Amino acid sequence: MIDAVVFDLDGVLLQTEELWDEVRERYVRERGGRYDAEAQRAMMGMSSLEWSRFIHEGLGVDEAPEVISREVAGLLEERYRERLPLIDGAEEAVRRLAARWPLGLASSSNRSLIDAALSLSALAPCFRVTVSSEEVTRGKPAPDVYLEAARRLTVPPERCAAVEDSHSGIRAAAAAGMRVLAIPNASYPPDEEALADADVVLRSLDDLTVSAVDASA
């Protein structure tokens, strides 16, 4: 039985993977750092503490990791306020599931970006709890952010369903013991090994129905 549903944010509700890549690449190159095709994939799922340290140590940006995190998040928030990249069907899917279950959100995004996105989309009241991976010890694919979401929801992880799009996210939710509904990210699709960890694979948010969640249990 499913007693709560936990959403990812980037790639599930917001089409931001390309935006993150664009902003971080420009930030790194403007500061004399190195950026290649593997950098974006390497950072998918990392917490802000992890990817900012990666940019500092691995990509050659001199600024301290906490400065990198704050400045990149600020640039992303500016873009959100210009136009929030809400995925088609996101609002309907969230409201559809919120009518049945308490919802949580477990995201690799900075806290400031989570709050801005939910405020701008008017979806904040639908979520009982939200967790940023900067608030836990390890980012995805470690299960920490999902375990914390379940703790705040006061629902055992095995009675939660998670909605994910990426290889690191699917693995994180599965490692937490949650039922996993995967909506594969078209731009950065999860590998077959990660998809095998999902209980249900859906084509789009339109397929994320109450019956689909029930079927994952």
Q: Could you tell me the pTM of the whole model?
A: 0.93
Same domain as 114, residue 55: no
Same-domain check for residues 140 and 54: no
Query: To the nearest whole percent, how much of the chain has pLDDT over 90?
Result: 88
> pLDDT at residue 39 above 80?
yes
Q: Check which CATH number belongs to the domain holding 126 and give it.
A: 3.40.50.1000
Number of domains in the chain: 2
Residues 90 and 115 in one domain: yes
CB of 9 closer than 8 Å to CB of 117? yes
Q: Dig out the tokens for 67 from the structure.
A: 């400065």
Is the N-terminal amide bond of 141 cis, ω within 30° of 0? yes
Strands 103-107 and 127-132, how do they pair? parallel
Task: Give residue 174's domain range.
Answer: 4-15+85-216
Residues 73 and 105 in one domain: no
Closest CA to 182 of 160, 205, 155, 215: 205
Amino acid 43: pLDDT: 86
Same domain, yes or no, for 61 and 132? no
Same domain, 78 and 124: no
Position 169, amino acid: G
pLDDT band at 191 (very low <50, low <70, confident <90, very high): confident
Q: pLDDT tens for residues 130-146?
A: 999 999 999 999 999 99
Q: What is the pLDDT of residue 42?
A: 84
